[in-house]
Structure 1
Amino acid sequence: MFRRILLISFALLMSGCATKYTAQQDYSDDFDFEAIERFAFIDTEASVNAQLSGMDRDRLNTAITSELISKGKQPVAVNESDVLVTYFLVTKDKTKVTSSNTGGYHGYYRRGHYIYGAGVNHVHTKNYVEGTLVIDFIDTKTNKAVWRSSLKKPLEKLDTPQQRQQSIDAAVTELFKTL
């Protein structure tokens, strides 16, 4: 019985590690994305927030620039761009609650008596922070948003600058997957 519980717990743990996060996109049907040749970054009030340090903003700018260059777009000055790129991060405190049961109600006969017992429920809670990274494209001709991609996932503790860059690169790659 213990071995079975251990195997089930391990399988659940491993399936949790394999979770794939998928970005959500929204876009304007009227805008021709193939016509985009040049882009520039702009800062808005929403994009300059306490959750993103200047170093993380630089990492994001580098990752977004790399993705757009790989798609044939070129970074230029704001007044020369076809689209303006802006992004922001929203965080939310979350709690995950799980429960497990060590077995159902059971009984057995022993030494002339019936003995009954019930399983034990265990409730576990985990507090974490969920982050949502949102990237917007704004058409420079109309000054309206024409594309948005967002990705939600629990924020991880990252100890090194390399881990932070890898995490940001992976998120940005997912955000631009369908563009």
Structure 2
Amino acid sequence: MTLYAMRAVCMFLLLPLVVACSSTPADPTTTMTYDQQFNFAAVHKIYIEPTSRTDAATIQISDAQITNIDSALADELGRKGFQMVKSSRQADLFLSWYLVTEDLVKARSSDCKGCDMAVDGGARYARGTLIVDMVDPMRNQAVWRSILKTELAGDPGTARAEQARLEAAAAIFARFPPP
């Protein structure tokens, strides 16, 4: 086999790898379920429930991350015409969310000062599943749920991470309110 033929074969074998590594990640996708009997047309005001700090999953998320996620979700709902209220008494729906993290990766404490504390001796989570519920305050039951499986921003505290949060929020609420 000539040198030219060997190069051609190597290039043919490496081309799919190069294409896969250089392609941009897919847009965030979600799964969504909802109560078809609930009147979503009557919903105008939404209250974001405070995040519980008592279970293991939320203890692993920093206060800054909670604030960033709350802000991204509230901003997207505001863009869709909903009013975010400060009191649960004023709300037509309560919003609650949960971030299930997985896949620890190495991290330095200098990666993001004050916004992403490393856990487990210098590690940070790389993937997560964000579950957003809309809860009917009268029945205290979820009437809408969206689930987003995503890569977590590798560089928290940056404009890129903020853009990723906004895109995730847009994907989560792409089909809210349901028809």
Structure 2 gaps of 5+ residues are 1-8, 105-124
Task: Go from structure 1 to structure 2 and tell me whether the alpha carbon gap of 1:43 and 1:80 turns closer, same or farther (over 3 Å shift).
Answer: same
Higher helix share: 2
Match of 1:154 among 142, 151, 154: 151
Q: Which residue of 2 aligns with 1:6?
A: 14
Q: Which residue of 2 aligns with 1:81?
A: 91
Match of 1:29 among 14, 17, 36: 36
Within 5 Å, give how 1:127-138 maps onto structure 2. 129-138=126-135
Q: Which runs of 4+ in 1 moved over 4 A?
A: none
Structure 1 gaps of 5+ residues are 95-127
Q: Which residue of 2 aligns with 1:20?
A: 27
Q: Does 1:39 align with 2:46?
A: yes
TM-score (norm 1): 0.72
Within 5 Å, give how 1:64-75 maps onto structure 2. 64-75=73-84
Query: Between Structure 1 and Structure 2, how many residues are aligned?
Result: 145
Within 5 Å, give how 1:48-127 maps onto structure 2. 49-76=58-85, 77-93=87-103
The structural deviation recorded for 1:2 is: 1.6
For the pair shown, the structure with the greater C-alpha radius of gyration is 1
The structural deviation recorded for 1:151 is: 0.4
Q: Which residue of 1 aligns with 2:165?
A: 168
Q: How large is the Cα RMSD of the aligned pairs?
A: 2.2
Deviation string 1:156-179 (CA, Å, 9 cap, x unpaired) is: 411543232212111111000111
Instruction: Judge conservation of contact 2:57–2:101 (CA < 8 Å) in 1.
Output: no
